[in-house]
A and B are shown apart, each in its own frame.
Chain A
Amino acid sequence: MKGGLLHNMAPNAKRSFMATLAFSAVAVAIYMFGVLPSQDALDKEGRRKSALDADQSRIRMDLSNAPNVKKNMDALEASMAPFKAAMLKPLLGSCAMRAKSILDPLVAGAGLKDAEYSEEQTRALPVTTPLARQLYARAAVKISATGSYQAAVSFLLRLEKEFPLVSLQWLEFMAGQSPEKQSVTMVLEWPTKGKVTRQ
């Protein structure tokens, strides 16, 4: 019988049933439209707070570490100073021109004559570990001159003393018509910055 149950209920029971129904509906509505969204918002805000907490800890650590970083930087700069001084910086875009400006006094002092400078191919710096990128390379400059064996050796001795980071890459002495007129060709190598060595 349709609607019979409610219809046959005693008035007290009917009121009780309706009140139960109403309270239950309100409870469900509060849960669905109040509790659940607030729970979501709370979770979201909790995650945001956790992320910010982590950020703040990292920032505090970075800032507290800043004096050490500065100290490290100063120490590194000090270690880098001799290398920076030894770098071959191109003059008007040419390493050979820079090498000429540096070496001409030494060449003349040693007694070598007719010195000519030309740029050789820059070589990559071999390292044992793979690099993300190579910051430095080996700039090479070829020097051809004439003079005695003693003059060439004297030039090399002075070069190695005054520029300890300049390396000999290639050397050739060829006997000339007289001991004073021998042909000397050498390729000298400097550390350099900013050269792309990828081929």
Chain B
Amino acid sequence: MTGAALHLNLLKDSEHRSSSPVRLRVMMPLLAMLATIGALVWWGTNLTQLVIVKTQADSLDADIKSKSREHAEAIRQQGEVRETQLGLDQLEFYRTGVRHIAEPLAKLAEVMPIKVQLTGLSVSRLPPQNLARPKGVKGPPLWGPPTNVETQKFVVAGRTTKAPPLSALMESLDGPGFEGLAGTAGDPATGRKGTVVSFRQDSAPAKDGSRLLTFEVEYIMPERRFAK
């Protein structure tokens, strides 16, 4: 009998081909134990991290709470600044829309021709504000009108003896110093800022018996533009 014939082969074929011929019954518990240790280490790491993060978060929370009153005051001041800025912006809009006409009215007395007698002088009323939303847009009414421009008319009415004094008055109103009353060219045919609305024989004669002419001239005043 040769040695080879007496050899007791205890390894399986698959174990012959393995790079590590350690038996499965040794490897499996070892791997399971390593997995258990790994899970324990993972858990431990998580717990440690949790403690660290919680401590940091608690410290942040305490810091935030300690500054809460100071911060509330800072926030209140910021709100106040925003509100004041908003108010100031709105008032700046108002300031640009202010209409002053005292000086041109004072100058009007200086340039009034001797043969013109004023019977009326007016700055027209503003139309009611339209705070409705545009057609098709639903919702509550607007807080402000949709346009920031207001136009008005300046109307001069009076009596005169003939056309030249009225013409002289209109020429004066077209000149410098009356920009606050007569804004833009009103009558393209004559090139004059004023439009003669009526010019006719007065029904009542003057004290001396002469027949007077009544007139009414209309001017488009500079726009009241509410803008910054």
Seen from chain A, the residues whose Cβ lies within 8 Å of a Cβ on chain B are 12-13, 16-17, 19-24, 26-27, 30-31, 34-35, 38-39, 41-42, 45-46, 48-49, 52-53, 55-56, 59, 62-63, 65-66, 69-70, 72-73, 76-77, 79-80, 83, 123-128, 130-131, 133-136, 138, 149-150, 152-153, 156-157, 159-160, 164-175, 187, 191, 197-199
Contacts and interface: CB of A to CB of B under 8 A. Distances in A.
Given A20-B28, A83-B91, A127-B148, A52 B60 contact: yes
A170 B123 CA distance: 5
30 contacts: A12-B25, A16-B25, A20-B31, A24-B35, A35-B39, A45-B53, A49-B53, A49-B60, A52-B64, A56-B60, A56-B64, A69-B81, A72-B81, A76-B81, A83-B91, A125-B94, A126-B226, A127-B93, A127-B144, A134-B143, A134-B144, A135-B90, A152-B105, A157-B103, A164-B100, A166-B98, A171-B122, A173-B118, A173-B120, A187-B125
B141 interface: yes
A45 B88 CA distance: 45
A191 B91 contact: yes
A45 B99 contact: no
| A-B pairs, 5 with minimum CB distance | A23-B32, A16-B25, A156-B102, A38-B46, A52-B60
A167 B31 CA distance: 93
Contacts of B105: 152-153, 156
Nearest to B89: A127
A167 B97 contact: yes
Contact of B109 (A41, A45, A83, A153): A153
B90 A52 contact: no
A135 B71 contact: no
A70 B100 CA distance: 36
Interface string B122-155: 1111100101000000001111110111100000
Contact of A80 (B40, B91, B98, B142): B91
B120 A175 contact: yes
Contacts of A49: 53, 56-57, 60
Contacts of A160: 100, 102
A34 B45 CA distance: 11
Nearest to B50: A42
A125 B129 CA distance: 10
A69 B77 contact: yes
A198 B109 contact: no
Contacts of B126: 123, 169-170
B202 interface: no
Contacts of A46: 53
Contacts of B120: 172-175
B60 A23 contact: no
